[in-house]
Amino acid sequence: MNLHDLVSQLIIDSTGSASLITPDSSLRAFLPELVICATVLAMLFVRLFRVGRYVDMFWIALAGSIAALYFAAPWDHLGAVLTADQAAHPAAVTRMEIFTGMLVYDTFSVYVRSALFLFAILFVIFTRLSGIPDHEDSPDIYTLVLGATLGMCLMVTANHLLMVFMAVEMASVPSYVLAGILKGRRQASEAALKYSVYGAGAAGVMLYGISLVAGILNTAHIPTIALTLAEKFSGGLSAVPSGELMVLALGALLISVGLAFKLSAVPFHFWCPDVFEGATAEVNAFLSVASKAAALALLVRVALGMGVIAPTGFAPGERWAKTHQNAPATTPTSTDKTTDLFYIAQEPVTAAGAAAAADSTAEPAKLPAMQSLAPVRSFTAKLIAFFAIITCTFGNLAAYGQTNIKRLLAYSTIAHAGYMMMPVAAVVAMAGIDNAGAARGIAGLAIYIAVYLFMNLGAFAVVAFLRNAMRSEEIADYAGLVRRCPLTVVCFSLILFGLIGLPPLSGFIGKFAIFASLVDGWRAVEAAGQPGFYLLLLLIVGGINTAISLFYYLRVVKVMTIDDEPADRPPLVYSDVSLAGAYLWLITLPTAGLIVAWDWLSEMADAAARNLIG
């Protein structure tokens, strides 16, 4: 192995082939993020010129987000089930570790990243309508938003503990600034200070956990961690020295602190209500949707990555080389060496390398490894279930006494984080027992993320538009709004009903999918003879919480419709029939109508879950 070989392998790893960028290369998979980077640079570059000062950055940001979504191409990649032949096609998305194993590119990442880009598009339009960035601020603010989105994309695709930490930082640090975006306001600066201090602390704690885990397993590459853990636990739980168990558990707990902070899971939620109240509603929408979706994806990556032997994958450029063996300029060195060097971490599963690997000899070797990881999964599932239960319950209970709509929605966000963690617990518990059921659980989570995106964005959009109209975010000031802007009240009510999860609305799909996965998980785990009671408990807690949440959401609806208008409310200047109103209709439409497209959504979600578990 000499340097020249190493460098040419690096080139193949990045571009797929020595002479051109192939469809199955790292760079192609990373294209949406690169577009985001280019957009940020373009926004800065345009400002350099005198003419550029007059350009509205909104258009650049919008074009960048749309281009990113276009290159993420969920409509191409989230289709029906792939056959082995189709999977071997270079352009098909299966599991692929890109950039020497730093990131992983699969349908799940396509799905969540597409959701993030879609959100970015809607968000950019939203900020334009609500008028938060003025002409001079807009490059800074859109740069921060897109920078954070870039970090979130890395969270979704992280496959290495450094990338986990780095992605969390990349997503958080711009968010700290975003929280304090109205920098002349006391509350905003306080929110930013609290967020940054707590966030940095949580990141530090997580880093310490990462150092312990990486130190004891001698690797930071997540699939390799799973393999090492499987080897460690191959003799059963009792064969592992108790000291090592303690260090592993400690590391996992410390890492979970960082993740829980990003998820605003109780007891690391304390920043959430304060930051939501101090920051503007626009930023709240960003934090509660994009940040949460990315954090959930990261939770799935870390929990499943460490608890499950990674399924068969392809190396960048491998499929291209196979389909274009006679092509003139493929590789200077043989391609199987590529697999050999950079993908050695997947050795047990990628040894055969080709599409036939699915049924190759690697399979029998994988099963015992999966089995020996059972204690890891059980620990992780219980940890997540614990967090989910307290998060959900606390969020819903605390939302009761709130008088400020942003605080109320903050607690609602916390509660929903709890709901969304439930299927992850079920999935981790089911993996290795009922892989199909686990995949369904992931699909349920994916559906919930999609539905939640529209619901929460809509809710915060209403808050922002009403704030512009009456400078108030108190629920009491919303009284009697139905007489002033009936359409907006209808939209808001639909969104709130959706957040409860009432049947005709799309929020119901998400809840249903989640609870179904919990039932699946409970049955599968119990059938395998392991204690699955905690999954049933999750189901019960979820049900009770849904009932609890009914009241505080309905209270808002009641205030808006039944109560009389307060006498001391500032004059309300707001028309339903405006661009802002149209935006609300646009957002509410999927909330109300996605249930019609359930099949379509669930097909995409199933496709998203396809490559996560073997």
Partner 1 sequence: MLLAAIDWHALLFLLFALVACGFGAAVLLTSNVVRMAFYLTLCLGATSGLFFLAGAQFVGAMQLMIYVGGTLVLLIFGVMLTAQARFISMKTGAGEWILGAIVGSSLLLLLVRAGFSVESWRLPRLDRDKITLAEGQTSTAIGLALTSVRVDKLSAPNEKLKPGMSGYLLPFVIVSMHLLVVLIGAGYMARTKRLGVNRATDRPVAQAPPRDRDRSFFVSAGLASGMIVNLLLAVGCCWLVAKPLAITGNAAPTNQFLLQLAKAIDAAPSWLLPTLGLLFLANVLLLVVVWYWQKWGVVGLVIVPLVMAFLIASTSLGQAAAVTIALIALAPVVLLILLLCSGRPTAWSQME
Partner 2 sequence: MLRPPDGLVADGITAIDMDSFPPPITVSHYLVVGAVLFVLGAVCMATKRNALGVLMGIELVLNGANLNFVAFGSRFLRQDTLGLDGELMALFVIVLAAAEAAVALAIALNFYNNHTTIDVDHADDLKG
Partner 3 sequence: MAQFLNVEVFSRLAGLAGGSVSADSWMGYAAAAAIHILFLIHVVAVGALVFIWLERKVAGRIQDRLGPTRVGGKFGWLQTLADGIKLIAKEDITPKDADPLLFKLAPYVSFAASFTAYMALPFANGWAAQEINVAVFFIVAVLGLEVFGVILAGYASGSKWSLFGGMREAAQVVSYEVPIGLCIVVPVLIVGSMNLVTIGEAQVGFFSNWLIFHDPFTFLVFFVYFTCAVASVNRAPFDLAEAESELVAGFHTEYSGLRWSFFFMAEYGSMFLVSGLAAILFFGGWNGPIPIFHMIGWAYEQGETGWRITGYIAQVAGVLNFMLKAVLGVTVMMWVRWTLPRLRIDQVMTTCLKYCVPLAAFCFIGAMLWKVYDVSSPHDLHGYTYGRSFAETRENWVLASEDNASRAVGNALRGVPESGTTEAQANSNRTSPHAHASVGRGTPDVTAPLAAQEVN
- Which positions touch partner 3 (CB under 8 A)? 1-4, 6
Residue burial 225-246, b: 16+ Cβ < 10 Å; e: rest: bbbbbbebbeeeeeebeeeebe
CA 492 to CA 458: how far, in whole Å? 7
- Residues of this chain, 438-497, that bind partner 1 according to CB under 8 A: 467-471
- Residues of this chain, 141-170, that bind partner 1 according to CB under 8 A: 141, 143-144, 146-148, 150-151, 154, 160, 162-163, 166, 169-170
**Residue closer to partner 1 (CB basis): 253 or 550:** 253
The three-class DSSP label of residue 404 is strand
Query: Minimal distance in Å, beta carbon 36 to partner 2?
Result: 18
Residue burial 147-183, b: 16+ Cβ < 10 Å; e: rest: bbbbbbbbbbbbbbbebbbbbbbbbbbbbbbbbbbbe
| Token code pair at residue 203 | 């990141």
**Residue closer to partner 3 (CB basis): 1 or 48:** 1
**DSSP string covering 510-553, please?**
HHHHHHHHHHHHHHHHHHTTS--HHHHHHHHHHHHHHHHHHHHH
Query: Minimal distance in Å, beta carbon 313 to partner 1?
Result: 14
| DSSP H/E element including 193 | helix 186-217
Nearest of 203, 221, 208, 209 to residue 160 by alpha carbon: 221
State yes or no: residue 302 binds partner 1 (CB under 8 A): no
Only segment of 74-82, 139-147, 293-301, 450-458 that touches partner 1 (CB under 8 A): 139-147
**Residue closer to partner 3 (CB basis): 3 or 48:** 3
**Residue closer to partner 3 (CB basis): 1 or 573:** 1
CA 206 to CA 193: how far, in whole Å? 20
Query: Minimal distance in Å, beta carbon 412 to partner 2?
Result: 14
| DSSP H/E element including 457 | helix 435-470
Query: Minimal distance in Å, beta carbon 203 to partner 3?
Result: 24
| DSSP H/E element including 97 | strand 96-98
Which of partner 1, partner 3, partner 2, none interacts with 369 (beta carbon under 5 to 8 A by kind)? none
**Which residues are CB-neighbours of 25 under 8 A, at least 6 positions away?**
14, 15, 16, 17, 98, 316, 317, 320
Which of partner 3, partner 1, partner 2, none interacts with 187 (beta carbon under 5 to 8 A by kind)? partner 2
Whether 152 and 123 have beta carbons less than 8 Å apart is answered as no
Whether 539 and 519 have beta carbons less than 8 Å apart is answered as yes
Which of partner 2, partner 3, partner 1, none interacts with 358 (beta carbon under 5 to 8 A by kind)? none
- Binding flags for partner 1, 176-205, as an x/- string (CB under 8 A): xx--x-xxx-------x-------------
Only segment of 86-94, 125-133, 424-432, 557-565 that touches partner 1 (CB under 8 A): 125-133
Q: Which residue has the tokens 């785990």?
A: 525
State yes or no: residue 216 binds partner 1 (CB under 8 A): yes
Query: Minimal distance in Å, beta carbon 550 to partner 1?
Result: 32
Only segment of 87-95, 225-233, 310-318, 558-566 that touches partner 1 (CB under 8 A): 225-233
**Residue closer to partner 3 (CB basis): 5 or 347:** 5
CA 104 to CA 108: how far, in whole Å? 10
Which of partner 3, partner 2, partner 1, none interacts with 277 (beta carbon under 5 to 8 A by kind)? partner 2
Size of the site for partner 1 (CB under 8 A): 89
**Residue closer to partner 2 (CB basis): 165 or 419:** 165
**From 19, 86, 228, 530, residue interacting with partner 1 (rule: CB under 8 A):** 228
**Residue closer to partner 1 (CB basis): 196 or 506:** 196
- Binding flags for partner 1, 341-370, as an x/- string (CB under 8 A): xxxxx-xx----------------------
Query: Minimal distance in Å, beta carbon 45 to partner 3?
Result: 15
- Residues of this chain, 368-397, that bind partner 1 according to CB under 8 A: none
Nearest of 118, 115, 110, 70 to residue 93 by alpha carbon: 110
Chain Cα centroid distance, residue 390: 21
Q: Which residue has the tokens 């929280």?
A: 179
CA 108 to CA 408: how far, in whole Å? 31
- Residues of this chain, 325-344, that bind partner 1 according to CB under 8 A: 341-344
Which of partner 3, partner 1, partner 2, none interacts with 283 (beta carbon under 5 to 8 A by kind)? none
**C-alpha distances in angstroms, 260 versus 156, 345, 480, 496?**
16, 29, 38, 25
State yes or no: residue 311 binds partner 1 (CB under 8 A): no
Nearest of 289, 212, 220 to residue 249 by alpha carbon: 212
Only segment of 54-62, 492-500, 511-519, 578-586 that touches partner 1 (CB under 8 A): 578-586
Whether 458 and 584 have beta carbons less than 8 Å apart is answered as yes
**Residue closer to partner 1 (CB basis): 345 or 428:** 345
Which of partner 3, partner 2, partner 1, none interacts with 48 (beta carbon under 5 to 8 A by kind)? none
Q: What is the largest CA-CA distance in the chain?
A: 81
Query: Minimal distance in Å, beta carbon 256 to partner 2?
Result: 16
Chain Cα centroid distance, residue 458: 18
**Residue closer to partner 3 (CB basis): 347 or 603:** 347
CA 85 to CA 69: how far, in whole Å? 27
Which of partner 3, partner 1, partner 2, none interacts with 573 (beta carbon under 5 to 8 A by kind)? partner 1
Nearest of 310, 323, 294 to residue 148 by alpha carbon: 294
CA 43 to CA 64: how far, in whole Å? 10
Which of partner 1, partner 2, partner 3, none interacts with 197 (beta carbon under 5 to 8 A by kind)? partner 2
Amino acid code (one letter) for 291: S
**Residue closer to partner 2 (CB basis): 50 or 186:** 186
| Token code pair at residue 306 | 């460490």
**Residue closer to partner 3 (CB basis): 5 or 137:** 5
Which of partner 1, partner 2, partner 3, none interacts with 100 (beta carbon under 5 to 8 A by kind)? partner 1
Whether 6 and 15 have beta carbons less than 8 Å apart is answered as no
Which stretches of the chain bind partner 2, using CB under 8 A?
A: 161-162, 165-166, 169, 173, 176-177, 180, 183-187, 189-194, 196-197, 200-201, 203-205, 207-208, 210-212, 214-215, 218-220, 273-274, 277-278, 401-404, 407
Q: Which residue has the tokens 């799973």?
A: 226
Nearest of 514, 388, 376, 524 to residue 447 by alpha carbon: 514
Partners of 98 in the β-ladder: 103
Query: Minimal distance in Å, beta carbon 252 to partner 3?
Result: 32
